[in-house]
Structure 1
Amino acid sequence: MAAGRLTLVIPAPGSRPPPVRVLADVITREEEASLASQLGPLLRRRGYMRSHFDGVIEGYRELERPLSWFDRANRAALGRVLDAAFGSKPPPLLPAHVLELAPGVDGFIRPHVDHVGVSGACIAGLSLLSDAVMLLTHAAEPGRSVRLLLRARSLYVLRDEARYEWKHAILPDLRLFPRELRAAPARPAPAEPDDKARRIAVVFRDEPPGRPGVA
């Protein structure tokens, strides 16, 4: 694991970036394949949804699983991921949020800040199988933005200011920016992608204060 090795972070001209980390190759290709093998069949059974209940996500399928659900090898790999994100003594965590976006322009996440009553001060996401671009935009100063290149097997960590004060989005295409994202037309549910084109993320969040951990 190449913990600490940063991947590409591109701030807009004159924009001070938030305190965010993107770590490359936090798991091996073999571990990535193992995770995809355990998660892939469950996701395929669900089919793609056109729109999330809150209107934030388009073209997606998702599930939640506690860390204990993963097989032994995958728990070990995810344990290292959690160490990189939260330290050797992680706080109580919510179940892992497994999210697959449809390929190309059919799947994307609009700019948003996660509801503060649902999770705590840190969001950490592991990218599987394909690269993606995350856009961070300051909630109070929209002119401040940062693009993060999320390579397959990389881990992003949004903590404190980056989690609470910056909206995060996943662009529908590596070449598209928010204007095109907002104008994306409604589309029919996409066909099943080839495994190499799948975009799966395993996202961990800490519990908000006052709730017991379940992971």
Structure 2
Amino acid sequence: MVSVMILRAISLSKSLSSSCRICCRRNISSAESKYAVLIQNDQWHKYLSFSDGFDKESRLQFSRDLLVVNNFVTDGEEKSLMEELTPVLKKMHYEFDHWDDAIHGYRETERLNWNPNNMKIIDRVRKIAFPSETSHIPLVHVLDLAEKGFIKPHIDSVRFCGDIIAGLSLLSSSIMRLVHENEKSKYVDVLLQRRSLYIMTGTARYDFTHELLDKERSIFKNDRVERGRRLSIICRNAPLK
């Protein structure tokens, strides 16, 4: 199994041609999409903040390619997940020197087997975020960021994961920023509320770098977001052929 470290091989993702990326995309705005109800809710303005570089059409397209479902897990479910993960994580130290300088103040693990209650949560994530015929990467990525931790801009390599990334945000709210790889004036700030689920695909997955802002820069629409320690549980599908 490929290490989660390799998933963030930024240099590999940047070497991919635009034609390859286009071939890998899945159109989640189709009538058959299981996202249809979420898209029709038209609540994106509550969690997306666009720079002036976006016109109306590109805002609409982006809002279909990056969805946030607030309160996806309950307080009790968050507690249950943390009770299972804490014994593993407390054996690790936070690291501030990542091999490709992409993450600061983190510890991480991969998990295949979950207790029955938590497995139901993982299955619920996969059910809402991925088509039924999806080939999942069996190992779920758990990334624990310290209060002063942050993630630098990157695009996950399509050589090691597919076209959809779905992540639970636990313990703290945070801001994810996406910047267009070729048009730097186009960026989006995404408010990831505690216990929310984000689903990233399409143009958000392939054309934008994504990063998690540090505590000092965690501001959404002029309001400061009190970011503390943040734990994310990330599901991915297998690379597309």
Calculate the TM-score normalised by the size of structure 1. Answer: 0.80
Give 1:132 deviation, angstroms: 0.7
Task: Give, as a single letter, the amino acid of the residue that structure 2 aligns with 1:46.
Answer: M
More moved, 72-81 vs 196-205: 196-205
Q: 1:209 to 1:175 in 2, by over 3 A?
A: closer
Give 1:197 deviation, angstroms: 4.1
**Counterpart position of 2:4:** none
Give 1:94 deviation, angstroms: 4.2
**Counterpart position of 1:140:** 182
Give 1:25 deviation, angstroms: 1.0
Give 1:107 deviation, angstroms: 0.3
User: Quick one: distance in 1 between partners of 2:175 and 2:216?
Assistant: 6
Task: Give, as a single letter, the amino acid of the residue that structure 2 aligns with 1:150.
Answer: L
Secondary structure at 1:107 match in 2: strand
Residues 93, 206 of structure 1: 8 Å contact kept = yes
Pick from 71, 77, 83: which aligns with 2:127?
Answer: 83
User: Quick one: distance in 2 between partners of 1:131 and 1:46?
Assistant: 23
**Counterpart position of 2:208:** 166
Q: 1:152 to 1:167 in 2, by over 3 A?
A: same
User: Quick one: distance in 1 between partners of 2:229 and 2:198?
Assistant: 18
**Counterpart position of 1:200:** 231
Give 1:35 deviation, angstroms: 0.3
Residues 51, 60 of structure 1: 8 Å contact kept = no
More moved, 158-167 vs 8-17: 8-17
User: Quick one: distance in 2 between partners of 1:75 and 1:154?
Assistant: 17
Pick from 92, 98, 104: which aligns with 1:52?
Answer: 98
Task: Give, as a single letter, the amino acid of the residue that structure 2 aligns with 1:25.
Answer: N
Residues 134, 150 of structure 1: 8 Å contact kept = yes
Task: Give, as a single letter, the amino acid of the residue that structure 1 aligns with 2:210.
Answer: H
Task: Give, as a single letter, the amino acid of the residue that structure 1 aligns with 2:196.
Answer: S
Pick from 69, 86, 89: which aligns with 1:43?
Answer: 89
Task: Give, as a single letter, the amino acid of the residue that structure 1 aligns with 2:101.
Answer: G
**Counterpart position of 1:10:** 49
Task: Give, as a single letter, the amino acid of the residue that structure 1 aligns with 2:102.
Answer: V
Pick from 121, 124, 132: which aligns with 2:163?
Answer: 121
User: Quick one: distance in 1 between partners of 2:145 and 2:190?
Assistant: 17
Give 1:88 deviation, angstroms: 4.3
User: Quick one: distance in 2 between partners of 1:209 and 1:89?
Assistant: 12
CA RMSD, 1 decimal = 2.0
User: Quick one: distance in 1 between partners of 2:68 and 2:216?
Assistant: 17
Residues 215, 228 of structure 2: 8 Å contact kept = no
Q: Which has the higher helix share?
A: 2
Q: 1:121 to 1:14 in 2, by over 3 A?
A: same
User: Quick one: distance in 1 between partners of 2:216 and 2:73?
Assistant: 23
User: Quick one: distance in 2 between partners of 1:153 and 1:98?
Assistant: 14
Secondary structure at 1:46 match in 2: coil
Q: Which runs of 5+ in 1 are unaligned?
A: 178-195, 211-215
Give 1:200 deviation, angstroms: 0.3
User: Quick one: distance in 2 between partners of 1:175 and 1:126?
Assistant: 21
User: Quick one: distance in 2 between partners of 1:142 and 1:14?
Assistant: 9
Residues 53, 185 of structure 2: 8 Å contact kept = no
Give 1:41 deviation, angstroms: 2.0
Percent of aligned positions with the same letter in both sequences? 37
